[in-house]
Chain A
Amino acid sequence: MTKLVAFLIQLAVATALWLVLLNDVLPFTLIPLAVVPAIPSWCLVTFGAKSLASIGWSLITFGDCPEAHQEILKEIKQAHEELRRRGVTVD
């Protein structure tokens, strides 16, 4: 099964459960009826908030490596010198 199919099945099951709760057909109360209609939007908002937090955090902790740039520039010079000596066209 593909990831898309797995996702759609999970979505279908969750929707069915939600509809059962919405129509108040269970003999006991799992979740207060007044809250049930808000569950889908709550899920979306929570997912959105978690996503923003995750992306924000990964952006803040993004590794910068200015030394790597300096190091490479030095190595390029070194390489050019040696290669020219050995007859390679370096331009």
Chain B
Amino acid sequence: KKMSATTTNDKYSVLLPTYNERHNLPVIVWMLVRTFTEHKLDYEIIIIDDNSPDGTLDIAKQLQGVYGADRIVLRPRPGKLGLGTAYVHGIANASGNFIIIMDADMSHHPKFIPEFIRLQKAKNLDVVTGTRYDAGGGVHGWDLRRKLTSRVANYIASTLLSPDVSDLTGSFRLYKKPVLAKLMAAVISKGYVFQMEMMVRARQFNYTIGEVPITFVDRVYGESKMGADEIAQYLLGLFTLFART
């Protein structure tokens, strides 16, 4: 079922913070363009490159040549400045009234975006978040230990923060632009916890949140690390959130 943007003025700005993604960037952009075009949605893709040493920005410029500067917007930064500021920077440059945040490494598949949009329109939601844990969702590329870590982490976070969101650390989300701006202004944490805090704050501000099951393919090439350091940071961040919200 195709969605038409011809009867609405909705425009979707996708924020893609990149660091050393010269291999993944062309493919994710290709997939995004295909999805938006097939569904006749008005869009732009804002690439926020943090001065990647592998030449990601050059690839981004080539993509701009292929798809047009109105669809591929480049807003590079001089160094690795972190995800939170990348979002703020992205929002400031976004011409859409909706913002989509996602990972640039193909763990998030653009094919779910029309479903996010459908749900958002059906209930006029402020936020739609992809969930890997609800029925229909899933993850590929995680061994038992990684799955266990993820489940325990989510359980602890849910117990402490009770936000009624099944996937708290997910980062594949659709926001109304003013909603994202307000949340970014309120958020205090960094890292995994930052994405959790967005949901906790959203509940605090009584924003409406919907969930769409998504499949998550972790690191198409290779496996991502989850060490003791990350776990310690996570627990500390989680407890800080528990004590401050």
Contact = CB atoms under 8 A, between A and B. Distances in A.
A19 to B, nearest CB: 26
Interface size class of B (residues with CB under 8 A): 35 or more
Contact of B140 (A2, A66, A79, A86): A66
Given A63-B132, A86-B66, A73 B151 contact: no
A51 B161 CA distance: 15
B147 A76 contact: no
Contact of B26 (A3, A65, A88): A88
Interface residues of A, number: 29
Nearest to B134: A63
B147 A69 contact: no
A63 B136 contact: yes
A49 interface: no
B26 A90 contact: yes
A89 B155 contact: no
A51 B160 CA distance: 13
A65 B220 CA distance: 13
A62 B151 contact: yes
Counting from the closest, the 3 A-B pairs by CB-CB distance are A63-B138, A65-B138, A68-B215
Interface of B: 22-23, 26-27, 30-31, 58-59, 62-63, 65-66, 106, 109, 132-133, 135-141, 144, 147-148, 151-152, 154-155, 159-162, 213, 215-217, 220, 242-245
Given A3-B160, A55-B151, A59-B148, 18 more contacts: A3-B162, A4-B242, A51-B159, A54-B155, A58-B154, A59-B144, A62-B139, A64-B138, A64-B139, A65-B139, A69-B220, A73-B220, A75-B31, A80-B26, A86-B66, A88-B59, A91-B22, A91-B23
